[in-house]
């Protein structure tokens, strides 16, 4: 791994799926100098190996942005490289587990990510990239290896998250249904994922927590505050009231919202209040205590 003085800064969005990380990535991606990359952890299997579409609509291998990134970083994308990254990931970057520092493969693994981030920043003409990979483990690997990473930990009311995971959603990539979880399983994942992200801060990683509900209550104020904390421009011309104008983003993988272009209404989705049964609501409420209270999702919000 070669350390460049021009190494790009990385904003890493952490949180359990369906908590608003894709929306936040799209909003941050409209700030000048910021390049949103999607969930880079999934780029290797879904983009390089399976050829799934980029956020611009082109299949990953045909997207001009990613083609240039691959050429610059690695002399081109190859199945050998993707399989190597997947092997390394299996060894030291396990979902929701904080890896050991000093693993002999850590420098090779994080070096690949740093090269990818740097090439993406250069290609996009940006100084900051956003990786919405969500899992705490990759953020910890990057920080442990000295990558300039700032984690934004997005949390959302677990009852809303549980309701979202019960819904049937089709993947735009191939029309297949996305994974569904029952409320108890979502509650367990919600707790594990958020605890792991909380642990990052305790291990010295820069972490800024953002509640999905606060972002949606006043998008301009919440985003400007966050942008200031992250050292980004705080003028947000793409935001008018609760309407955001989104341009095409070359996000390699992530939830269906990554394909959205044009005006988007920023509104809280509170459909869980009528859609989640009393029994499931009680179950999630009980299983996610006390972390839920720490994040301010008390009885008043039930």
- The 3-state secondary structure of 23-67 reads HHHHHHCCCCCEEECCCHHHHHHHHHHCCCECCCCCEHHHCHHHH
**Residue (212 or 259) nearer to Zn ion, CB:** 259
Half-sphere exposure of 146 (CA within 13 A, CB side): 10
C-alpha–C-alpha distance, residues 7 and 128, integer Å? 9
Does residue 290 have a cis peptide bond before it, meaning omega lies within 30 degrees of 0? yes
- Binding Zn ion (rule: CB under 5 A), the pick from 16, 24, 34, 56 is 56
- Binding Zn ion (rule: CB under 5 A), the pick from 16, 40, 43, 54 is 54
Q: Is 212 in the site for Zn ion (CB under 5 A)?
A: no
**Residue (30 or 93) nearer to Zn ion, CB:** 30
Question: CA quadruple 94, 23, 246, 174: dihedral positive or negative?
Answer: positive
**Residue (14 or 55) nearer to Zn ion, CB:** 55
**Residue (163 or 250) nearer to Zn ion, CB:** 250
- Reduced to 3 states (helix: H, G, I; strand: E, B; else coil), residue 169 is coil
**Alpha-carbon dihedral angle through residues 97, 101, 102, 107, given to the nearest 10 degrees:** 80
Stretch that binds Zn ion, among 210-218, 227-235, 244-252, 276-284 (CB under 5 A): 244-252
Stretch that binds Zn ion, among 10-18, 183-191, 243-251, 279-287 (CB under 5 A): 243-251
- Binding Zn ion (rule: CB under 5 A), the pick from 16, 35, 37, 63 is 63
Q: What are phi and psi of 241, to 5 degrees?
A: 60, -120
C-alpha–C-alpha distance, residues 173 and 57, integer Å? 9
Stretch that binds Zn ion, among 51-59, 179-187, 206-214, 273-281 (CB under 5 A): 51-59
- Widest pairwise Cα distance in the chain: 55
- Smallest gap from Cβ 253 to Zn ion, in A, equals 11
**Residue (56 or 162) nearer to Zn ion, CB:** 56
Q: Print the binding letters for residues 247-266 with Zn ion: x by CB under 5 A, - otherwise.
A: ---x----------------
Stretch that binds Zn ion, among 57-65, 81-89, 185-193, 279-287 (CB under 5 A): 57-65
- Smallest gap from Cβ 259 to Zn ion, in A, equals 11
**Residue (126 or 283) nearer to Zn ion, CB:** 126
Please list the alpha-helical segments (H only) found in 125-181.
136-144, 158-166
**Residue (46 or 250) nearer to Zn ion, CB:** 250
Please list the alpha-helical segments (H only) found in the chain.
21-28, 64-74, 79-92, 106-124, 136-144, 158-166, 183-202, 212-217, 219-229, 272-275, 278-287, 291-294
- Binding Zn ion (rule: CB under 5 A), the pick from 65, 113, 165, 212 is 65
Q: Which residues bind Zn ion (CB under 5 A)?
A: 54, 56, 63, 65, 250
């Amino acid at each position: 791994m070669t350390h460049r003085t021009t190494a790009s800064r990385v904003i890493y969005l952490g949180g359990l799926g369906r908590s608003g990380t894709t929306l936040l990535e799209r909003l941050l991606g409209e700030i000048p100098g910021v390049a949103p990359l999607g969930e880079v952890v999934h780029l290797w299997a879904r983009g390089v190996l399976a050829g799934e579409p980029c956020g611009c609509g082109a299949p990953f291998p045909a997207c001009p942005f990613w083609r240039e990134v691959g050429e610059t970083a690695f002399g081109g994308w190859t199945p050998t490289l993707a399989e190597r990254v997947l092997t390394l990931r299996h060894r030291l970057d396990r979902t929701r587990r904080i890896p050991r520092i000093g693993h002999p493969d850590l420098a090779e693994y994080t070096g690949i990510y740093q090269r990818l981030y740097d090439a993406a920043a250069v290609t996009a003409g940006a100084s900051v990239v956003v990786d919405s990979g969500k899992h705490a483990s990759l953020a910890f690997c990057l920080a442990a290896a000295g990558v300039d990473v700032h984690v934004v930990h997005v949390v959302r009311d677990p009852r809303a998250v549980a309701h979202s995971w019960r819904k049937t959603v089709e993947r735009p990539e191939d029309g297949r249904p996305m994974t569904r979880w029952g409320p108890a399983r979502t509650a367990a994942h919600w707790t594990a994922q958020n605890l792991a992200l909380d642990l990052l801060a305790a291990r010295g990683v820069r972490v800024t927590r953002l509640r999905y509900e606060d972002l949606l209550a006043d998008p301009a104020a919440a985003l400007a505050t966050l942008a200031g904390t992250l050292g980004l421009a705080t003028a947000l011309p793409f935001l008018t009231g609760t309407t955001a104008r989104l341009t095409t983003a070359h996000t390699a993988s992530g939830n269906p919202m990554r394909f959205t272009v044009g005006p988007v209404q920023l509104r809280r989705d509170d459909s869980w209040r009528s859609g989640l049964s009393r029994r499931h609501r009680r179950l999630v409420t009980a299983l996610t205590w006390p972390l839920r209270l720490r994040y301010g999702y008390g009885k008043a919000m039930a």
